[in-house]
Each structure stands twice: as C-alpha cells, then as structure tokens.
Amino acid sequence: MSVAELKERHAAAIEAVNDLRERLKQRRQQLLDTDVAGYARSQGRSQVTFGPTDLVCCRTLQGHTSKVYSLDWTPERDRIVSASLDGRLIVWNAQTSQKTHAIKLPCAWVMTCAFSPTGQSVACGGLDSMCSIFNLNSATDRDGNLPVSVTLNGHKGYVSCCQYVPDEDIHVITSSGDQTCVLWDITTGLRTTVFGGEFQSGHTADVLSVSINGTNSRVFVSGSCDGTARLWDTRVASRAMRTFQGHEGDVNTVKFFPDGNRFGTGSDDGTCRLFDIRNGHQLQVYYQQHSNKEVPLVTSIAFSISGRLLFAGYSNGDCYVWDTLLARVVLNLGSVQNSHENRISCLGLSADGSSLCTGSWDTNLKIWAFGGHRKVI
C-alpha cells in the first residue's frame, strides 16, 4: 500500500470518527431533557443568599516574592502549604499567619504542592519533571535548608499536579505534560502504575490536574489539554473507565464532589461543568456572561463540604461562589474588600469547610471565613 493510499485511509478514518462523535453528542443531548438547575427550578428550590459579612477575608498571608501557583490544606485545617515561582514552599499556620517552614526547592519552576494525610510531609513538582518529597520533621542542613527526603523520577514532561492518596503517606498520584498520570510508592521511590501514555484510552495531550475520590481512593479523575476529563481505577491501568467530553478548551482543574459520585471541572473555555461518573452524563454548565469579548479562564475549583457551593477562581482575578443547584453566582470574592489584585491561580477549602484559601499571581494568599449569620454549607 502506497503512502498516498495510507494518507487517504487515515483521513477517511478521522472523518468517520468525527462523524460518530457528533452523532453521539446529538444523541446525548436528546436524552438530557433537563439539567440540575432546570430541575431545581421546577421544584421551586430557592437560591443560596450571601450578605456582605457572610464570607470575609480574615487573613492575608504574605511572604512569597513571586507568583503563587499552588496550595493545599492539612486535614487538621490548621496549616497550609503554598508553592511559588520564587522557588520556595512555605508552610503556614493558618490561625496565626506565621510561617513554620520555608523550603528552598531544587527547581524554582514549581507548579504544584500537596500535604500528606498526616501532615508530616509535603510533595511538590514542576518543570524539573520530578516530584520531590520533604519530611517536615527532618533536620535542616548547614545552610538551614530542609533536604529532599525522596525524589520520584520517571515522568518525561513537567509535573503539573500531585496528590497524596487519602489515609496513607506512602502513595502519591501525579499528572504530567507527558500525557500520563502515575501512582508512586514513596517508600521505594518507584512507579507502581502508569495511566495513559501508550494506551489508546489515555489522554492525547498534557494532563493538568488530578483529583482522588474521597469515598473510594482507588478511583481518580484527570483533566487535560485535550479538552477531556478521564476516570481511572488504580487497579486497571490499561484503560480509562470513562471519558468525559464537553469542554472547548484545556481542562485546567478537576475536583470530586463530596459524595464521590460526581466531579467538577474548570476550563480555558471559561466554564465549570458537573459530571456524573455513574452514567457519564454532563449534569450542569456554570458560565457567567461577560460584557467584553475576552472570557476569563477557570484556573481552580473547590466544592463546599455539602456540595451546595462551587468556588471557582478565574484568570481575571474573580472568584465566583456558585450555587451548584441553580447554577447562579451568589458572590464574587474578586469584587469585595481586600480581594486579590491579579489572577487567582489556586484555591482550596479546609477539611471542615469553614475556611477558603485563595492563592494569586499577586504573590499573596488570602483566607476567607464564613461569618455573620452564615453557617458552613
């Protein structure tokens, strides 16, 4: 078979795949006669309301000298770790705003950080294509720096996200620009399982984010520059359990819903979306119209402890609080007093749901607490 014939067959196959994809999309739209917000309105559900003192900035954490890219809370909700392009991880006491550790990194181009479930160690990764583990109880060297305890080396592209497997300090899942996710054993420093890569059901572009299911730690979801999110089971690495489509841009962030049956996504297309892992359907789109043509990108998301609220950070400095049931914005933290002055790059909710922390390119982190008559939702 000649090269020309091969190219012709390849083009025909691509056309057939695109046609099937479009027919599948139309069929799904026919089956989805409503969304979450439409059903909630038909049942007369009322919107969550926020007063001016219901969610307020109670602390600003200052100490980084460059853009903040990532943050994470300890399960005890008393400490936060943040990663910045100043080449440092800082561990903060969230109640006093004091720094307990300032860790100088081997590579300044850090993109992600995470606390271990016990809070005894932190992990980070970035453009060095490695995930570095630091034991916070280790002694510092003669220069006062905390040494790297374990280096997880094996990715062929930058490490975009890392997350400890819940309830244990020995396994980490990372995502990478090499189109794969990897489950690591920290005790040996070796890869346990690789997800994607040569497998056809894997991502076809950089993987940007992962989220592990809080109710079943064997299941995690990943978001990618290929515009999809994929559901994985750590016991079955050869293929993704499901592929979720709908976004028209890079999927920058993914986060499981508290009940573990759904997850949210945020994308360069300016939308957040809610998907159901049981049937693979998209349940809701969260999108705010803007007066100008430039649509801000969604950079990070988090759900409240009940799932009724969705917190979404945007590239223009906005941080919307969405009512997930009615798909309406109930508060914009970017327009209140003491808000950030640049892109919201990361955000996270404390384990008890009482506080939200946001990180920004303005080099600061801010802790927002529920106040007034508002209870934790």
State pLDDT tens for residues 230-284: 999 999 887 899 999 999 999 999 999 999 999 999 999 999 999 999 989 999 9
Tell me, what's the pLDDT at 376? 61
Say how far apart CA 294 and CA 114 lie, in whole Å: 32
Please indicate, yes or no, whether residues 23 and 50 belong to a single structural domain of this protein. no
Residue 168: per-residue pLDDT:
83
Is 176 in the same domain as 271? yes
- Looking at the fold, whether 158 and 18 belong to one and the same domain comes out as no
pLDDT for position 77:
80
In this predicted structure, what is the pLDDT of residue 375? 59
pTM of the model: 0.90
Q: Cα(300)–Cα(343) distance, rounded to whole angstroms?
A: 11
Q: Are 192 and 285 contained in the same domain?
A: yes
Domain assignment present for 172: yes
Looking at the fold, whether 19 and 107 belong to one and the same domain comes out as no
Judge whether 324 and 350 are in contact, CB under 8 Å: no
d(CA 73, CA 346): 12
Amino acid at 8: E
66 pLDDT exceeds 90?
Answer: yes
The whole-number average pLDDT for the span 111-123 is 96
Q: Which of 242, 263, 244 is nearest to 254 (CA)?
A: 263
Q: Does 372 score more than 60 pLDDT? A: no
DSSP designation for 333: G
Kind and range of the H or E run holding 195: strand 190-196
User: Residues 265, 272: contact at Cβ < 8 Å?
Assistant: yes
- Residue 216 within a domain: yes
Region 210-216 average pLDDT: 96
For residue 25, pLDDT beyond 90:
no
Do 165 and 215 belong together in one domain?
Answer: yes
Residue 333 lies in a domain: yes
Alpha carbons 229 and 213: distance in angstroms, whole number: 14
| Least confident segment among 57-71, 290-304, 313-327, 346-360 | 290-304
Query: How many domains are there within the chain?
Result: 2
Mark whether 20 and 132 lie in a shared domain. Answer: no
How far is residue 205's CA from residue 239's CA, in Å, rounded to a whole number? Answer: 16
Can you give the residue range of the structural domain that contains 4? 1-31
| Whether residue 206 sits in one domain with residue 84 | yes
Answer yes or no: are the C-beta atoms of 63 and 102 closer than 8 Å: yes
22 plus 112 within the same structural domain: no
Distance CA(251)–CA(204), nearest Å, equals 13
Mean pLDDT of all residues in 181-203? 89
Are the C-beta atoms of 253 and 271 separated by less than 8 Å? no
Same structural domain, 144 and 259: yes
The secondary structure of 261-311 as a DSSP string is SEEEEEETTS-EEEEETTT--EEEEE----SSSPPPPEEEEEE-SSSSEEE
Does the pLDDT at position 65 exceed 80?
yes
SS3 209: strand
In the prediction, which pLDDT does 181 show?
Answer: 96
- Quick one: 8 and 140 in the same domain? no
Please state, rounded to an integer, the average pLDDT across all residues of the chain.
92
Segment 110-129 mean pLDDT: 96
Q: What is the pLDDT of residues 88-110, one digit of tens each?
A: 999 999 999 999 999 999 899 99
Looking at residue 211, which CATH number applies to its domain? Answer: 2.130.10.10
- 38 assigned to some structural domain: no
- Higher-pLDDT residue of 52 and 319 is 319
Q: CA–CA separation, 285 vs 155, rounded Å?
A: 33
Residues 186 and 265 in one domain: yes
147 part of a folded domain = yes
Dihedral angle computed from the Cα positions of residues 156, 160, 163 and 169, in that order, rounded to the nearest 10 degrees: 50
